[in-house]
Amino acid sequence: MKKKVTISKGTFKKVLTYVRPYSAGLICSLLCAALAVLLTLYIPIAVGDAIDHIIEPGKVHFDVIINILIKIGIAAVLASLIQWIQGVINNKVTFGIVRDLRNAAFHKLQELPVSYSDTNAHGDIVSRIIADADQFSDGLLMGFSQLFTGLITILGTLIFMFVINWKIALVVVLVTPLSLFVASFIAKSTHSLFKAQADIRGEQTAFINEIIGNEKVVRAYGHEAEAIETFEGMNKKLEKCSRRAVFFSSLVNPATRVVNSIVYAGVCLVGALSVVANPAVFTVGSLSVFLSYANQYTKPFNEISGVVTELQNALACAARLFELIEAEPQTPDAPNARILTDSKGNIEIKNIDFSYTEDKPLIRDFSITVPHGKRVAIVGPTGCGKTTLIGLLMRFYDVNDGAIYVDGTDIRDITRESLRKSYGMVLQDTWLKTATVRENIIIGKPDATDEEIIAAAKASHAHSFIKRLPKGYDTVISDDSGLSQGQKQLLCITRVMLSLPPMLILDEATSSIDTRTEMRIQRAFAKMMQGRTSFIVAHRLSTIREADIILVMNDGQIVESGTHETLLKKGGFYANLYSSQFQH
In this predicted structure, the answer to whether residue 7 has a pLDDT above a threshold of 60 is: no
pLDDT at 543: 64
Please choose, from the candidates 384, 390, 183, the residue with its C-alpha nearest in 3D space to the C-alpha of residue 300.
Answer: 183
Contacts 24+ apart (CB under 8 A), 79-86: 79/35, 79/36, 79/39, 79/40, 82/32, 82/35, 82/36, 82/39, 83/32, 83/36, 83/149, 85/32, 86/29, 86/32, 86/33, 86/36, 86/145, 86/148, 86/149
Give dist(CA 83, CA 85) in Å, integer.
5
Give dist(CA 401, CA 517) in Å, integer.
42
Give dist(CA 562, CA 544) in Å, integer.
12
> Worst-scoring range by mean pLDDT, 199-203, 270-274, 345-349, 499-503?
270-274
- The pLDDT of 315-325, averaged and rounded, is 86
Backbone φ, ψ for residue 330 (5° rounding): -65, 155
Question: Residue 359: pLDDT band by 50, 70, 90 thresholds?
Answer: confident
Instruction: Check: CB of residue 429 under 8 Å from CB of residue 454.
Output: no
Model confidence, pTM? 0.66
Instruction: Check: CB of residue 260 under 8 Å from CB of residue 26.
Output: no
Instruction: Check: CB of residue 259 under 8 Å from CB of residue 175.
Output: yes
Looking at residue 60, what DSSP letter applies? Answer: B
Number of Cβ within 10 Å of residue 431's Cβ equals 11
CB within 8 Å of 57: residues ≥ 6 apart: none
Give dist(CA 498, CA 517) in Å, integer.
19
The secondary structure element, H or E, covering residue 538 is none
pLDDT at 405: 93
- The pLDDT of 2-25, averaged and rounded, is 72
Label the pairing between strands 503-507 and 409-410.
unpaired
The percentage of the chain sitting over the pLDDT mark of 90, rounded to a whole number, equals 9
What's the 3-state SS for 257-308? Answer: HHHHHHHHHHHHHHHHHHHHHCCCCCCHHHHHHHHHHHHHHHHHHHHHHHHH
> How would DSSP label each residue in 388-413?
HHHHHHTTSS--SEEEEEETTEEGGG
Label the pairing between strands 476-477 and 347-354.
unpaired
Give dist(CA 354, CA 402) in Å, integer.
9
Please choose, from the candidates 323, 327, 314, the residue with its C-alpha nearest in 3D space to the C-alpha of residue 132.
Answer: 314
Give dist(CA 207, CA 228) in Å, integer.
11
pLDDT at 467: 92
| 566 or 148, greater pLDDT | 566
pLDDT at 8: 59
Q: Positive or negative CA dihedral for 560, 566, 567, 572?
A: negative
Please choose, from the candidates 284, 503, 493, the residue with its C-alpha nearest in 3D space to the C-alpha of residue 373.
Answer: 503
Give dist(CA 304, CA 317) in Å, integer.
19
In this predicted structure, the answer to whether residue 485 has a pLDDT above a threshold of 80 is: no
Taking only the tens place, the pLDDT of each residue in 399-449 is 889 999 999 999 999 998 888 888 888 877 778 888 899 998 998 888 889
- Per the prediction, the chain carries an average pLDDT of 81
In this predicted structure, the answer to whether residue 584 has a pLDDT above a threshold of 60 is: no
Highest mean pLDDT among 98-107, 129-138, 208-217: 98-107
Give dist(CA 558, CA 144) in Å, integer.
63
- The pLDDT of 559-580, averaged and rounded, is 84
Give dist(CA 362, CA 555) in Å, integer.
7
Give dist(CA 555, CA 81) in Å, integer.
73
In this predicted structure, the answer to whether residue 168 has a pLDDT above a threshold of 70 is: yes
In this predicted structure, the answer to whether residue 105 has a pLDDT above a threshold of 80 is: yes
> Worst-scoring range by mean pLDDT, 30-34, 96-100, 111-115, 217-221?
217-221
Provide the residue type at 304 as one letter: I
Angle at 175 between CA 171 and CA 177, to 5 degrees: 135
> Worst-scoring range by mean pLDDT, 63-77, 92-106, 263-277, 489-503?
263-277
| 327 or 1, greater pLDDT | 327
In this predicted structure, the answer to whether residue 464 has a pLDDT above a threshold of 70 is: yes
pLDDT at 348: 92
The percentage of the chain sitting over the pLDDT mark of 70, rounded to a whole number, equals 90
The domains found in the chain, sorted by start residue, are: 8-197+250-325 (1.20.1560.10), 347-582 (3.40.50.300)
pLDDT at 513: 67
Give CA separation, 290 vs 14, 89, 159, 162, 166, in Å.
41, 32, 12, 10, 11
In this predicted structure, the answer to whether residue 365 has a pLDDT above a threshold of 50 is: yes
Taking only the tens place, the pLDDT of each residue in 335-358 is 888 898 888 888 998 998 888 877
In this predicted structure, the answer to whether residue 512 has a pLDDT above a threshold of 70 is: no
Give dist(CA 377, CA 375) in Å, integer.
7
pLDDT at 542: 62
What's the length of the chain? 584
CB within 8 Å of 520: residues ≥ 6 apart: 461
In this predicted structure, the answer to whether residue 112 has a pLDDT above a threshold of 50 is: yes
Give dist(CA 409, CA 418) in Å, integer.
13
Taking only the tens place, the pLDDT of each residue in 524-542 is 777 778 888 988 887 666 6
Taking only the tens place, the pLDDT of each residue in 188-234 is 667 677 778 878 887 888 888 778 777 767 777 778 888 888 888 88
Backbone φ, ψ for residue 252 (5° rounding): -60, -50
User: Alpha-carbon dihedral of residues 96, 99, 101, 105, nearest 10 degrees?
Assistant: -170
Q: Where are the alpha helices (DSSP H) in 165-283?
A: 166-213, 215-220, 224-250, 252-277
